[in-house]
Amino acid sequence: MPDPVRIGNCSGFYGDRRAAMREMLTGGELDFLTGDYLAELTMLILARDRAKNPDRGYAKTFLSQLEECLGLAVERGVKIVANAGGLNPAGLAAAVRALAERLGLAVSVAHVEGDDLVGRSAELGFGTPLAANAYLGAWGIVDCLNAGADVVVTGRVTDASVTVGPAAAHFGWRRTDYDALAGAVAAGHVIECGVQATGGNYAFFTEVSDLRHPGFPLAEIHADGSSVITKHPGTGGAVTVGTVTAQLLYEIAGARYANPDVTLRVDSLCLHDDGPDRVRIDGVTGEAPPPTLKVSLNSVGGFRNAMTFVLTGLDIDAKAALVRDQLGAGLTAKPAELEWTLARTDHSDADTEETASALLRCVVRDPDPAVVGRQFSNAAVELALASYPGFHVTAPPSDGQVYGVFTAGYVDASEVPHVAIHADGTRTEIPPAAETLGLTPVGDPELPAPPPSGPTRRVPLGLIAGARSGDKGGSANIGVWVRTEEQWRWLAHTLTVDTLRDLLPETADLPVTRHLLPNLRAVNFVVEDILGEGVAYQARFDPQAKGLGEWLRSRHLDIPEELLPQ
């Protein structure tokens, strides 16, 4: 068997740790270094950037990282693959070439394009969004690497594709090597969000010895697609079965996880402790990809403003009712949307003013910036001497801000060009998958035997269960896992959709689907429409649903005493 290929990650989002590229290049051996700079919200940010200047539209921080690290990568023979090209991969590739020339480095730079469908949006039935980008796969990256590229930048490819491409190029995989490709998708999904795989945002974070500066992850991928997730020696954080499980559950749905090149069967994954800071992923199976590609559609939804009133002490509900009535009567123009939320952060007989206070938040949205601008915020502040006792707000009057709307579209893969552009300008058309398989749900496996009855204690779910949650357009997922077979038997029988709705009342009237993943001892919930029209819409105070899982872990259930930690 050939040696594994070592693929590291140095970015989980646009704005991640700037020093990570240098840390990964100097911290240990690598063959490839990848970076994920794109998210649904990032595509809107880059689209607005490009609207101001057509030469923009890519992640500028990637260039600043290369400024100090490109020479290191060349010296160490590490090839770089990143989706930092955003909406302008050709522009970023040209900028990288100019940087290399200025640094006196001989570097072959290639890029992948074809994902940008905004010019054909109406034709494809997507209306007139500000940005429309199909999620491409890995084979354009493979073509660039096989032609000798040292740096490959892409637009909107799937997050895992920047890992799948290097692995497929290294081992010479064919497009129908589904199990190997699916294994690389699993590894890529684990490392794509950077330090979330090494203890960041981890439910049991108190078990991680050093989180001051966690190291970024890397995957040692083998020829059969199995992998070991690890990190450079001596770096902070930890790689454990738990941290890898958490990341595998991040932003997924059911047992099938579709990518443009292969559909990963998440229910096939097996995790094993492979030593300190090493977790092996094997047993992975894959299926042909679906015939369609997902399209990220970002539009300007209108203008938004907010005002937060502080309510202190007694009569909180009456104070909230008064200011709502007063502001409603005082607005000369009614916004298209006006939402109130009251956060009862106050405590009885509190020993500080802050803990004696609740927060009443008013959010307004409208197509007209004047309606939600000073006209709204001034009306709120004008109540200062005429409203409830102790009136004050958390911020001064402000103008309305543009907000975005995200929707997902789908298009036949044959409708989307996928092109590798090499350093010499030659272009290679990447055909869509010849074999496809429609994405259908996998029926839940048979439930395990119910746990034995015994005495219980009413305690937080998080005493035995971890969770990881995140956004998927207007929906969110909550993956919940436990660490023993006995706990899994209890979890599978207890944490049903109805139980989730009871524990999280915000989900009570929303469509919720539960998926069982026995190999991970996990259940995954998909909660539709909880985020409105996407992250930029800010439908709730946690617009990316990052805290949903922790809210669920804090809720109390009757848990058998034998399952609780001693």
pLDDT in tens, 201-239: 999 999 998 999 999 999 999 999 999 999 999 999 999
Q: What is the pLDDT of residue 447?
A: 95
The answer, yes or no, to whether residue 565 has pLDDT greater than 80, is yes
User: In 227-383, which ranges are continuous DSSP H helix?
Assistant: 241-248, 316-330, 374-381
Q: What is the pLDDT of residues 136-185, one digit of tens each?
A: 999 999 999 999 999 999 999 999 999 999 999 999 999 999 999 999 99
Contacts of 15 (CB under 8 A, 6+ apart): 61
Q: Tokens standing for 276?
A: 């300190």
Q: What is the pLDDT of residue 248?
A: 98
Q: Write phi, then psi, for 551 (nearest 5 degrees).
A: -60, -45
- State CA 70 to chain mean position distance: 27
Q: Write phi, then psi, for 411 (nearest 5 degrees).
A: -140, 145
Residue 354, classified by CB atoms within 10 Å of its CB into exposed (0-12), middle (13-18) or buried (19+), is: exposed
- Cβ(155)–Cβ(89) below 8 Å: yes
Model pTM score: 0.96
pLDDT band at 365 (very low <50, low <70, confident <90, very high): very high
- State CA 521 to chain mean position distance: 22
Q: Find tokens 């706990």 and name the residue.
A: 487
Residue 501, classified by CB atoms within 10 Å of its CB into exposed (0-12), middle (13-18) or buried (19+), is: middle
As a whole number, mean pLDDT of residues 75-97 equals 98
d(CA 196, CA 191): 8
- Cβ(249)–Cβ(481) below 8 Å: yes
Q: Which of 398, 400, 380 is nearest to 332 (CA)?
A: 380
The answer, yes or no, to whether residue 38 has pLDDT greater than 90, is yes
Q: What is the pLDDT of residue 452?
A: 84
d(CA 378, CA 384): 10
Q: What is the pLDDT of residue 40?
A: 87
If phi > 0 it is left, if psi is from -120 to 50 it is alpha, else beta; for residue 73 that is alpha
CATH architecture of the domain 299-405 equals: 2-Layer Sandwich (3.30)
| Helices and strands in the chain: count of H runs, count of E runs | 13, 26
Q: Find tokens 């579709």 and name the residue.
A: 258
Q: What is the pLDDT of residue 360?
A: 98
**Beta-bridge partner residues of 151:** 80, 109
Q: What is the pLDDT of residues 470-527, one digit of tens each?
A: 999 999 999 999 999 999 999 999 999 999 999 999 999 999 999 999 999 999 999 9
Q: Find tokens 């895992």 and name the residue.
A: 160
Q: What is the pLDDT of residue 41?
A: 86
SS3 label, residue 410: strand
With residue 287 as reference, give the H or E element that holds it.
strand 286-287
As a whole number, mean pLDDT of residues 450-473 equals 95
d(CA 481, CA 464): 9
**Beta-bridge partner residues of 34:** 9, 81
For residue 420, CA distances in Å to 175, 196, 289, 496, 526 come to: 16, 31, 20, 46, 35
pLDDT band at 2 (very low <50, low <70, confident <90, very high): confident
Higher pLDDT, 321 or 453: 321
Q: Which of 393, 375, 373 is nearest to 385 (CA)?
A: 393
DSSP for 36-67 reads ----HHHHHHHHHHHHH-TT--S-HHHHHHHH
CA Rg, the chain, in Å? 25
Give the chain's mean pLDDT.
97
Percentage of the chain exceeding pLDDT 90: 97
> How does strand 456-460 pair with strand 556-560?
antiparallel
Q: What is the pLDDT of residues 295-311, one digit of tens each?
A: 999 999 999 999 999 99
d(CA 336, CA 334): 7
Q: What is the pLDDT of residue 403?
A: 94
Contacts of 6 (CB under 8 A, 6+ apart): 29, 30, 31, 32, 218, 219, 220
For the chain, what are the domain ranges? 299-405, 456-563
Q: Which of 305, 289, 339, 99 is nearest to 177 (CA)?
A: 289
d(CA 78, CA 22): 12
Residue 519, classified by CB atoms within 10 Å of its CB into exposed (0-12), middle (13-18) or buried (19+), is: middle
Q: What is the pLDDT of residue 554?
A: 98
- Cβ(311)–Cβ(319) below 8 Å: yes
d(CA 289, CA 265): 11
d(CA 254, CA 79): 34
The answer, yes or no, to whether residue 253 has pLDDT greater than 80, is yes
